[in-house]
Structure 1
Amino acid sequence: MTSVINMAPKPFLAFWQAKMVAELAVDSLPFVAQMAERDRQGAVDYLKGAANRYTRSRAELGSSAHDLFERMIRGEFVGRVHPDLTPYVRHFREFLDAVNPELVSAEDVAWSDTHKYAGSFDAILRVWVDEANRITPDRSGEPALLMADWKTSKATYPDVALQMSAYAYADRIISPDGTSVPMPEFDGAAVLHVTADQWAFKPVLVNDEVFAQFLRYRGTFDWDRELSKTVIGKPLVSGGGSFETGTQRRGK
């Protein structure tokens, strides 16, 4: 599923990657200059890898946070953690207190037999809301079933709607033991955005139109991985290159 969503164009990435390289070069100019004197290609590779190193470090933090969130949503006590993760744990506890959700499913696989994709979702939650659609942590309102996702990125981006629509429109849920049940019908979807500074539980639009956009990227994925590799045939005629005389051929 992630590979499908990655088919979406992201023109901002080129600017961001260039900015990361430029900032690293300026912030570590003496070090880079010394490195370049000894190993020019090494200095180039060091600067070129700035964005990838940042992405990997953020992914590692995000994976660790997700692991803690799963433990906490399942009711497990989480004690002392790495200082980098402490604010994430504190904010997730605040979320649990403010929303008081019931866990229906966590870290299971959404599987689509119809459209041939799969992906592991963070959670299916039941929350309670009043007539104004405000969450009631005392569970005095009406229950609502939500597809939920945790994000620890700098911001929440529109493609989370593609991701969550793909989960919600899948055919079934596959558990770790291999059993499966039909995907339920949802009352909505929401993303919990947690950073070191704050947290927010935001509604996400999941409907036929959003899912149709995901399916367009699903078609682009098939084009990229399969059909695009078959559309150019072998040359019917060709030319150029070096000319080889009969004498040269016989001399080989």
Structure 2
Amino acid sequence: MGTVRTVQRGGSRFYVHPERPEIKVPGVTSVVGMLPKPFLMYWAAKMTAELAVDSLPFVAQMAERDRQGAIDYLKGAARRYTRIRAEIGSQAHDLFERMIRGEAVGRVHPDLEPYRRNFAEFLAAVNPELVGAEDVAWSDTHEYAGSFDAMLRVWLDDKNRPMPDRSGTPVLLIADWKTSKDIHAEVALQMAAYAYADRIIRPDGSSTPMPEFDGAAVLHITPDGWAFKPVCIEREIYEFFLSLRRVFTWDHDVSKTVIGRAIAQSSGRLVTGTQRRAR
């Protein structure tokens, strides 16, 4: 059995079946990406405007030499910011996985040190048991897949507060690390999709049924602090995700087939006799 590969198509990520490479299913984040995000338009405009105002002399000099270059520089403000944040997020996720697996982590890059410190605080305060990490959730029934951060067992008291001495009630949680500025409600759709998938495909290619989770939680961790928050993954939430899965099929497949080739059309612009004589 092989590991699960991913490919990019049409701006979306697809997971390749480890045994039947002709089968490719969309990733959970690409499906959730079907949600409308009108705020992104205003955010991108704000990023461009702030860059222009903060670097007016530089942009003016660039525009004198290369107008299109200046336009591209401003236009790429949001994309560059997103790329930088994604790189930091990926490095932080790698750090978290090594730490929760018990690896001794020495000095890290100064940009990552606040994340290392705050994740260490989380581990001390909650003391979770790692059940699995960075596995692929695969749904044969609804044809999607996605890599989730961790399965954790934590111990809670009668008020659902973590017991780091593990003296409370053990619960199995599907967990996600978020290093973004804010947590958005769509994380519930993402985590419900993982929890209700049919099976787990591990890095060595082996497959096991998805366990039944007691709940879900997201660790929101930033340079300023951390918070471990419960996330609702009731069946109703999963049904909303499945609706987006259908929208994904419409957007990537069906929508490209519904308008056929013209069965009648104009033969060209009419040329009058007067126009012909004037030639």
Query: Cα deviations across residues 143-186 of structure 1 (Å, max 9, x unaligned)?
Result: 00000000000011111001000000000000011111110011
Query: Cα deviations across residues 172-211 of structure 1 (Å, max 9, x unaligned)?
Result: 0000111111100111000000101111001101011110
Residue 83 in 1 paired to residue 116 in 2?
Answer: no
Structure 2, unpaired ranges of 5+:
1-27, 272-279
Shift of 1:239: 1.0
Residue 186 in 1 paired to residue 247 in 2?
Answer: no
Counterpart of 1:12 in structure 2 is 39
Residue 179 of structure 1 aligns with an amino acid whose one-letter code is S
Residue 55 in 1 paired to residue 82 in 2?
Answer: yes
Q: CA separation in 1, counterparts of 2:251 and 2:267? A: 30
Query: Cα deviations across residues 2-43 of structure 1 (Å, max 9, x unaligned)?
Result: 110110110100000000000000000000000000000000
Counterpart of 1:250 in structure 2 is none
Total equivalences in the alignment:
245
Q: Which runs of 4+ in 1 moved over 6 A?
A: none
Residue 163 of structure 2 aligns with an amino acid whose one-letter code is T
Q: CA separation in 2, counterparts of 1:185 and 1:105? A: 14
Shift of 1:113: 0.5
Q: CA separation in 1, counterparts of 2:54 and 2:250? A: 42
Aligned pair partner of 1:241 in 262, 268, 273: 268
Counterpart of 1:195 in structure 2 is 222
Counterpart of 1:33 in structure 2 is 60
Residue 116 in 1 paired to residue 137 in 2?
Answer: no
TM-score by length of 2: 0.86
CA change 1:241–1:100 in 2 (3 A) is: same
Query: Cα deviations across residues 206-236 of structure 1 (Å, max 9, x unaligned)?
Result: 0111101101110010001100000001111
Q: CA separation in 2, counterparts of 1:48 and 1:241? A: 38
Q: CA separation in 1, counterparts of 2:45 and 2:242? A: 31
Shift of 1:131: 1.2
Q: CA separation in 2, counterparts of 1:233 and 1:88? A: 53
Counterpart of 2:96 in structure 1 is 69
SS of aligned partner of 1:199: strand
Identity of matched residues, %: 72
Shift of 1:242: 3.8
Query: Cα deviations across residues 73-111 of structure 1 (Å, max 9, x unaligned)?
Result: 100011101000000000000000000000000000000
Shift of 1:133: 1.2
Shift of 1:241: 3.3
Q: Cα RMSD over matched residues?
A: 1.2
Within-5 A mapping of 1:160-179:
160-179=187-206
TM-score by length of 1: 0.95
Q: CA separation in 2, counterparts of 1:241 and 1:78? A: 71
Query: Cα deviations across residues 17-74 of structure 1 (Å, max 9, x unaligned)?
Result: 0000000000000000000000000000000000000000000000000000000010
Q: CA separation in 2, counterparts of 1:134 and 1:195? A: 21
Residue 157 in 1 paired to residue 184 in 2?
Answer: yes
Residue 204 of structure 2 aligns with an amino acid whose one-letter code is D
SS of aligned partner of 2:192: helix
Counterpart of 2:240 in structure 1 is 213
Counterpart of 2:13 in structure 1 is none
Q: CA separation in 2, counterparts of 1:55 and 1:240? A: 48
Q: CA separation in 2, counterparts of 1:28 and 1:132? A: 52
SS of aligned partner of 2:180: coil
